[in-house]
Structure 1
Amino acid sequence: MSMILYHTPASPFGRKVVVMLHETDLIEQVELEIVQQTPLNPNRDVIDANPSGKIPALRLEDGTTLHDSRVILDYLDTLHQHTPMIPHHGPERWRRMTLASLADAMTESAVQIRYETFMRPQGLQWKLWLDNQHEKIARSLDYFEQTALPELEGHFDMACIGLACLLGYLDLRVANWHWRGEYPKLAAWYTEADQRPSMQATRPEAR
């Protein structure tokens, strides 16, 4: 094994990286090291590799460590022989990266909702802040539903992986939000995307 990926299977950011490893046939080249941590309980191995303590983190063969899922995905995209997960040049590159960034912004909000509702006592939860996170996700889902969904067809690249992992995380951790009824076209897209072997292999509830 030349690389080690520190990740948590339930994390949508970590899942993105593992999905890409499956999609690009790099999965056998990376050791998957599962770490259990929260902002209140950091993991020493992760901190030693990445001072911020954030996961996923990818330790390379030379001992250097990459962190932030988009940085890791961009690096992995240089290692495989398949169609690039993000175009290398031109306007299409910036468009796909922007869609990937939008998916990540939703994911960050969903994770914050999870932390606020799971880790903080109910009487101390900040409803207005939670509502704002929910609204950010809803606006972005509506954008994909009404505007960007045709751009996802025929691809399963970095933007699609990020969106699919976000929707899976909503089902897992924000299960009281029945988003499919509000975004039926997006739900249909996700139903198909979720059947990909890479998505099936990385289902958090199955790990």
Structure 2
Amino acid sequence: MKLLYSPASPFVRKVLVFIKELGLEDKVELAKVTTTVVNQSAELAASNPVAKIPALVLDNGKGLYDSRVITAYLDSLVASPSFYPAEGDARWDVLCMEALADGLMDAAVNNRYERGLRPADKQWAEWGEGQMKKVDGALKALDAAAVSFGDRIDAGIIGAACACGYLDFRYPDIGWRENYPALGAWYAKFSERKSMQETQPPS
């Protein structure tokens, strides 16, 4: 298998953490691609028609996307541990937390594109503020849940960690830890995992 990726993407990082935690590093080749909305990678578009990373190219040439599809597929390749509960409330709780973390990352990435790629005279301040309001809402929900995280690891937990890591990477000045101390304390411990240390975005 081949993962088309960029190390700066939090969605890519989530997949990379899955690969390491599931012991699949020798099964997945990493292929770095450069792509933006206005300068799309042809290689990436061949595997994902909307040209977004990550994309996982299977051995038969088929492309899988987006990150939640890829992580579910990777999880299916191993007997244990499973990061997606098979049934019951636990399954829906994990899927909702993964969606919450993805929503945080999506809003933060969108605002980053607005500030970093769009010409200054075309930027819409209210739109960016709305994206960061979504980030704040997700952080509030994660902070309320963080007291129950403990030492467990699943798809929602990994997503939450990668979302926090992206805020550190792209938004170091917003002080999210001060506003959400329970989440900050949990993340400080979780980020010490080898899989998190080895997937840090570029400095």
Question: TM-score per shorter chain, which class?
Answer: over 0.9
The reply on whether 1:188 has 2:182 as its aligned counterpart is no
The reply on whether 1:64 has 2:93 as its aligned counterpart is no
Please state whether the residue corresponding to 2:76 is helix, strand or coil.
coil
Equivalent AA in structure 2 for residue 127 of structure 1 = A
State how far apart, in whole Å, the 1-side matches of 2:41 and 2:121 are.
Answer: 29
Please state whether the residue corresponding to 1:20 is helix, strand or coil.
helix
Pick one of 157, 162, 174 that aligns with 2:159.
162
Query: What are the equivalent positions in structure 2 for 1:110-129 lying under 5 Å apart?
Result: 110-129=108-127
Q: Which runs of 5+ in 2 are unaligned?
A: none
Equivalent AA in structure 2 for residue 176 of structure 1 = D
Aligned residues: 203
Equivalent AA in structure 2 for residue 95 of structure 1 = D
In percent, how many aligned pairs have the same letter?
A: 41
The residue that corresponds to 1:177 in the other structure is 174
Counterpart contact for 2:143–2:183, Cα < 8 Å: yes
Deviations 1:29-77 (A, max 9, x none): 0001111111111111111122111110001111111000000001111
Deviations 1:115-161 (A, max 9, x none): 00101233322111111111111111111212x21342231211111
State the TM-score, normalizing by the size of structure 1. Answer: 0.94
Q: Which runs of 5+ in 1 are unaligned?
A: none
Please state whether the residue corresponding to 2:147 is helix, strand or coil.
helix
The residue that corresponds to 2:3 in the other structure is 5
State how far apart, in whole Å, the 2-side matches of 1:201 and 1:112 are.
Answer: 25
Pick one of 86, 89, 114 that aligns with 2:87.
89
State how far apart, in whole Å, the 1-side matches of 2:28 and 2:148 are.
Answer: 31
State the TM-score, normalizing by the size of structure 2. Answer: 0.96
Please state whether the residue corresponding to 1:168 is helix, strand or coil.
helix
